[in-house]
């Protein structure tokens, strides 16, 4: 964290949470921020080149900012508060993004609960250990072997990867990702079989005598039950279901034996109905081999970035609805901030029909597929022109953002909008902006990564996709890509298929699931497992195929709980 007056935090939803220094109209990577280490990435460059919104619009007609704010107030006053929805995306992860939520809560709007992102996995870790906190980055640097499990590590956290790029890697992923190609071992498993792989690995850990008796004795509950689960099936039976051979498992233990081990766990393992259980099974395996509570190694996921901080924007909404299941059409007024549900949320057809059937206010920095359905557009000031601070879900460092450029007077920051609305409704004012930010700057959060008690998962109740999958069906896999950030900067409608599927480059295809259908263009790619259809997150049509139904335990989306068929169109 730099106290330099010219520092700027990258606002993008990314593990690295980098810090830049603004000088002579240019941004350079901060050298003081240990993860940024002087470099920025291609997405930051895209962000600087954005065509930022500088005008308000009512029904596609330009209007002054003051008029758009008046219309918003009028609309709010004439709408039954519970028929107003406040919907926040993750287009900017600065802490100040949460300020408008306080107004909408006080006003009585319906807010959301759950996530489109890491919710299932976070719930699984929390059930097992009471919280979801990463070890310090030093532990990662001090480890020998890094198991990259369902995470596109070198692409989605390029700076964290840079700190450890010379380590030995093992990758567990159905796709041959860049990190899989660099790995000593790549276990190209079938999707949604990670819980079975965790059990198989536990069984082998016992045979190889690498369980951590000390950790199990002092910090574990239910380890015996978990081990019984692992023993419950003949080892060979796992080969067919997971697609991982026993010789690969033997190799896995040769690599990790007597080594300090880290697990970089990603979203991929938990985009399913029982995502929480799957992650808990992986964390139980990690506990069994004793990678927790050491000075080196540990398990990293998307941690609760505000763990240990007191929320400066406390809310107590009258009503919350499940985020992926939001039915926009059942509200009279929808306020969307920092998001693009028309691409990013599940069941696109339903989302778009809903947006068409309500009065939509879009509060964002750039136009996107969602703003096309907005009745009123209010431009948010861009990140260079507003004060903020970023915490990270990948590591423990903060980044401070100063307003390094004069803001466009036709735009408004999240903090200013909140104050304006509070004023219009005679609600209490927010604390002073600097005071709020200073709290985050000054607060030191103690290391909280040591696990008091790990409750091992004792029972797994998972409906396996491989059991319902027909011969002609594919698993539907989405992952992040290097040159975009979710739906920002670049989008396509391409699907990636293995050459053995019989399709050809540029084929136009119709892909169907039980939830919907859409057309795509084929790219042949041998990195994709034969039984999978892969596309990048941000693909314009991907979510026509996904379900809005929530996962089992965390009110979150389950983008991969689906099988699809493909035909030439
Ligand atoms: N460049 C870039 N960086 C980003 C983002 C971006 O859009 N672009 N997005 C940011 C955001 S919002 C997030 S949440 C993070 C997410 O970062 P990651 O956790 O890396 O998320 P994904 O790329 O969605 O998925 C990770 C991997 O899971 C694999 N996978 C899919 N299904 C399975 C499965 O069943 N089992 C296993 N073992 N693996 C599976 C996929 O093939 C993929 O390689 O990245 C952040 N960083
Ligand atoms: N099929 C499938 N779908 C997925 C995923 C997947 O892997 N597969 N990934 C999911 C994940 S992990 C995530 S996190 C979500 C992300 O989904 P969303 O949260 O909807 O994020 P984006 O699509 O990136 O939309 C970002 C928008 O935020 C606005 N914005 C940017 N900066 C600011 C700002 O400072 N202020 C305001 N007010 N607005 C701003 C911009 O207008 C931009 O268009 O998508 C999810 N969707
Ligand atoms: S790596 Fe992530 S946090 Fe760092 S500059 Fe790029 S997008 Fe921003
Ligand atoms: Mo995300």
Pocket test for ligand 1, best of 13, 90, 152 (most atoms within 8 A of CB): 152
Nearest ligand to the CA of 91 is: 2
**pLDDT tens for each residue of 87-140:** 999 999 999 999 999 999 999 999 999 999 999 999 999 999 999 999 999 999
The alpha carbon of 480 and the centre of ligand 2 are apart by a number of angstroms equal to 12
Q: How far apart are the C-alpha atoms of 224 and 491, rounded to whole Å?
A: 48
**Locus of tokens 């007024």:** 333
Pocket test for ligand 2, best of 338, 348, 355, 559 (most atoms within 8 A of CB): 338
Ligand 2 contact, 364 CB (< 6 A): yes
Between the CA atoms of 361, 366, 370 and 371, what dihedral angle is there, to the nearest 10 degrees?
50
- In the structure, what pLDDT confidence band is assigned to residue 449 with cuts at 50, 70 and 90? confident
Cross-strand pairs, 58: 61, 376
* Shortest-distance Cα residue to atom 45 of ligand 1: 156
CA distances, 57 to each of 24, 75, 358, 482 (Å): 33, 15, 17, 32
Q: How far apart are the C-alpha atoms of 433 and 105, rounded to whole Å?
A: 19
Q: How far apart are the C-alpha atoms of 416 and 100, rounded to whole Å?
A: 9
Q: What is the distance, to the nearest Å, from the Cα of residue 161 to the centroid of all Cα atoms in its chain? A: 17
Nearest ligand to the CA of 487 is: 2
Q: What is the distance, to the nearest Å, from the Cα of residue 474 to the centroid of all Cα atoms in its chain? A: 24
Q: How far apart are the C-alpha atoms of 366 and 518, rounded to whole Å?
A: 26
Is the pLDDT score of 334 beyond 90? yes
* Shortest-distance Cα residue to atom 26 of ligand 1: 151
Nearest ligand to the CA of 12 is: 3
Is the pLDDT score of 215 beyond 90? yes
For residue 487, give the ligand 2 atom closest to its CA: 23
- In the structure, what pLDDT confidence band is assigned to residue 177 with cuts at 50, 70 and 90? very high
Cross-strand pairs, 111: 320
Q: Helix and strand tally (H, E) in the chain? A: 19, 26
Select from 328, 336, 335, 338 the least CA-distant residue to 383.
338
Average pLDDT over residues 243-261: 97
Report DSSP state, residue 451: -
Nearest ligand to the CA of 557 is: 2
For residue 537, give the ligand 1 atom closest to its CA: 7
The alpha carbon of 117 and the centre of ligand 1 are apart by a number of angstroms equal to 10
**Locus of tokens 């068409």:** 356
Pocket test for ligand 1, best of 170, 263, 265, 479 (most atoms within 8 A of CB): 479
Q: What is the distance, to the nearest Å, from the Cα of residue 266 to the centroid of all Cα atoms in its chain? A: 9
Average pLDDT over residues 239-244: 96
**pLDDT tens for each residue of 389-446:** 999 999 999 999 999 999 999 999 999 999 999 999 999 999 999 999 999 999 999 8
For residue 486, give the ligand 1 atom closest to its CA: 7
Buried b / exposed e along 480-497 (16+ C-beta atoms within 10 A): bbeebbbbbbebbebbbb
pLDDT of 174: 98
- In the structure, what pLDDT confidence band is assigned to residue 565 with cuts at 50, 70 and 90? very high
Is the pLDDT score of 1 beyond 80? no
For ligand 3, which residues put their CB under 6 angstroms from it? 10, 12, 14, 16-18, 40-41, 43-44, 158-159
For residue 158, give the ligand 3 atom closest to its CA: 1
DSSP sequence for 386-399: S-EEE--SSSS--E
CA angle 485, 487, 488 (to 5 degrees): 60
Cβ contacts of 302 within 8 Å, gap of 6 or more: 15, 117, 118, 121, 122, 132, 267, 393, 394
Cβ contacts of 271 within 8 Å, gap of 6 or more: 120, 478, 557, 558, 559, 560, 561
Q: What is the distance, to the nearest Å, from the Cα of residue 426 to the centroid of all Cα atoms in its chain? A: 36
For ligand 1, which residues put their CB under 6 angstroms from it? 13-15, 43, 117-118, 149-152, 155-156, 172-175, 177, 189, 191-192, 194, 266-269, 477, 479-482, 484-486, 537, 560
* Shortest-distance Cα residue to atom 38 of ligand 1: 150
- In the structure, what pLDDT confidence band is assigned to residue 2 with cuts at 50, 70 and 90? confident
Q: How far apart are the C-alpha atoms of 137 and 59, rounded to whole Å?
A: 48
Q: Is the separation of the CB atoms in 287 and 215 below 8 Å?
A: yes
Pocket test for ligand 2, best of 53, 89, 381 (most atoms within 8 A of CB): 89
Write phi, then psi, for 288 (nearest 5 degrees): -60, -40
The alpha carbon of 250 and the centre of ligand 2 are apart by a number of angstroms equal to 41
pLDDT of 4: 82
* Shortest-distance Cα residue to atom 4 of ligand 3: 18
Select from 336, 328, 278 the least CA-distant residue to 119.
278
To the nearest 10 degrees (0 to 180), the angle between helices 235-242 and 194-207 is 150
pLDDT of 399: 97
**Locus of tokens 């045979």:** 207
Reading the block at residue 367, the tokens are 């136009």
pLDDT of 543: 98
Q: How far apart are the C-alpha atoms of 308 and 311, rounded to whole Å?
A: 9
* Shortest-distance Cα residue to atom 8 of ligand 3: 10
Write phi, then psi, for 196 (nearest 5 degrees): -70, -40
Is the pLDDT score of 537 beyond 80? yes
**pLDDT tens for each residue of 364-388:** 999 999 999 999 999 999 999 999 9
| Sheet with strand 168-172: strands edge to edge | 185-187, 168-172, 145-149, 261-265, 298-300
The alpha carbon of 263 and the centre of ligand 1 are apart by a number of angstroms equal to 15
Is the pLDDT score of 448 beyond 90? no
Q: Is the separation of the CB atoms in 404 and 6 below 8 Å?
A: yes
Reading the block at residue 440, the tokens are 């985050």
- In the structure, what pLDDT confidence band is assigned to residue 54 with cuts at 50, 70 and 90? very high
Cβ contacts of 70 within 8 Å, gap of 6 or more: none
For residue 117, give the ligand 2 atom closest to its CA: 12
Residue-level length of the chain: 569
**3-class SS of residue 46:** helix
Is the pLDDT score of 83 beyond 90? yes
Q: How far apart are the C-alpha atoms of 481 and 501, rounded to whole Å?
A: 23
The alpha carbon of 387 and the centre of ligand 4 are apart by a number of angstroms equal to 23
**3-class SS of residue 372:** helix
The alpha carbon of 153 and the centre of ligand 1 are apart by a number of angstroms equal to 8
pLDDT of 294: 95
Cross-strand pairs, 265: 149
Mean pLDDT of the chain: 97
Between the CA atoms of 544, 548, 552 and 555, what dihedral angle is there, to the nearest 10 degrees?
130
Write phi, then psi, for 518 (nearest 5 degrees): -160, 160
Show the domains of the chain with their CATH numbers: 7-115+306-386+397-442 (3.40.50.740), 119-301+449-455 (3.40.228.10), 469-568 (2.40.40.20)
Ligand 2 contact, 368 CB (< 6 A): yes
Pocket test for ligand 3, best of 16, 45, 482, 485 (most atoms within 8 A of CB): 16
Select from 489, 486, 403, 389 the least CA-distant residue to 17.
389
For residue 159, give the ligand 3 atom closest to its CA: 1
The alpha carbon of 447 and the centre of ligand 4 are apart by a number of angstroms equal to 24
Is the pLDDT score of 484 beyond 90? yes
Ligand 2 contact, 89 CB (< 6 A): yes
Q: Is 547 left (phi over 0), alpha (psi -120 to 50) or beta?
A: beta
Q: How far apart are the C-alpha atoms of 133 and 151, rounded to whole Å?
A: 17
The alpha carbon of 391 and the centre of ligand 4 are apart by a number of angstroms equal to 15
pLDDT of 224: 94
């Amino acid at each position: 964290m730099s106290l330099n007056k010219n520092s700027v935090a990258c606002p993008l939803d990314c593990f690295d949470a980098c810090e830049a220094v603004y000088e002579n109209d240019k941004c350079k990577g901060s050298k003081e921020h240990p993860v940024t280490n002087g470099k920025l990435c291609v997405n930051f460059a895209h962000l600087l080149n954005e065509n930022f919104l500088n005008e308000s619009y009512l029904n596609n007609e330009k209007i002054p900012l003051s008029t758009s704010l008046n219309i918003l107030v009028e609309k709010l006053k004439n709408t039954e508060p519970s028929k107003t929805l406040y919907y926040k995306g993750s287009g900017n992860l600065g802490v100040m993004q949460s300020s408008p939520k306080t107004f909408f809560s006080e006003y009585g709007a319906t807010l959301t609960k759950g996530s489109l992102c890491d919710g299932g996995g976070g719930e699984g870790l929390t059930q097992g250990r009471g919280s979801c906190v990463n070890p310090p980055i030093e532990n990662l640097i001090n480890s020998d072997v890094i198991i990259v499990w369902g995470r596109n590590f070198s692409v989605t956290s390029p700076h964290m990867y840079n700190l450890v790029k010379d380590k030995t890697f093992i990758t567990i992923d159905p796709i041959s990702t860049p990190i899989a190609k660099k790995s000593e071992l790549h276990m190209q498993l079938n999707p949604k079989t990670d819980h079975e792989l965790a059990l198989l690995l536990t069984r082998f850990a016992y045979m190889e005598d690498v369980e951590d008796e000390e950790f199990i004795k002092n910090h574990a509950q239910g380890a015996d039950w978990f081990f019984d689960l692992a023993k419950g099936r003949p080892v060979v039976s796992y080969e067919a279901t997971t697609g991982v051979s026993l010789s690969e498992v033997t190799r896995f233990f040769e690599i990790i034996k007597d080594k300090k081990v880290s697990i970089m766990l990603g979203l991929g393992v938990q985009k399913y109905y029982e995502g929480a259980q799957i992650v808990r099974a992986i964390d139980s395996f990690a506990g069994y081999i004793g990678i927790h509570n050491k000075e080196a190694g540990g398990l990293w996921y998307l941690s609760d970035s505000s763990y240990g901080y007191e929320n400066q924007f406390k809310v107590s909404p009258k009503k919350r609805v499940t985020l992926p299941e939001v039915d926009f059409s059942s509200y009279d007024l929808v306020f969307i901030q920092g998001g693009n549900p028309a691409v990013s949320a599940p069941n696109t057809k339903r989302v778009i029909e809903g947006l068409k059937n309500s009065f939509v206010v879009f509060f964002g920095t750039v136009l996107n597929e969602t703003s096309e359905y907005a009745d009123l557009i209010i431009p948010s000031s861009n990140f260079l022109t507003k004060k903020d601070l970023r915490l990270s879900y990948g590591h423990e460092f903060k980044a401070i953002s100063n307003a390094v450029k004069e803001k466009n007077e036709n735009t408004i920051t999240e903090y200013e909008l909140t104050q304006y609305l509070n004023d219009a409704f005679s609600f209490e004012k927010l604390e002073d902006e600097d005071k709020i930010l200073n709290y985050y700057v000054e607060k030191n959060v103690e290391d909280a990564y040591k696990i008091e008690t790990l409750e091992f998962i004792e029972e797994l109740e998972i409906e396996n996709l491989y059991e319902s999958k027909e011969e002609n069906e594919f698993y539907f896999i989405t992952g992040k890509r290097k040159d975009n950030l979710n739906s920002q900067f670049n989008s396509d409608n391409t699907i990636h298929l293995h050459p053995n599927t019989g399709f050809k480059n540029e084929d136009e295809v119709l892909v169907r699931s039980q939830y919907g259908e859409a057309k795509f263009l084929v790219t042949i790619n041998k990195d994709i497992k034969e039984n999978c259809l892969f596309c990048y997150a941000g693909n314009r049509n991907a979510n026509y195929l996904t379900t809005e139904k929530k996962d089992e335990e965390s009110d979150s989306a389950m983008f991969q709980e689906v099988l699809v068929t493909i035909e030439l169109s």
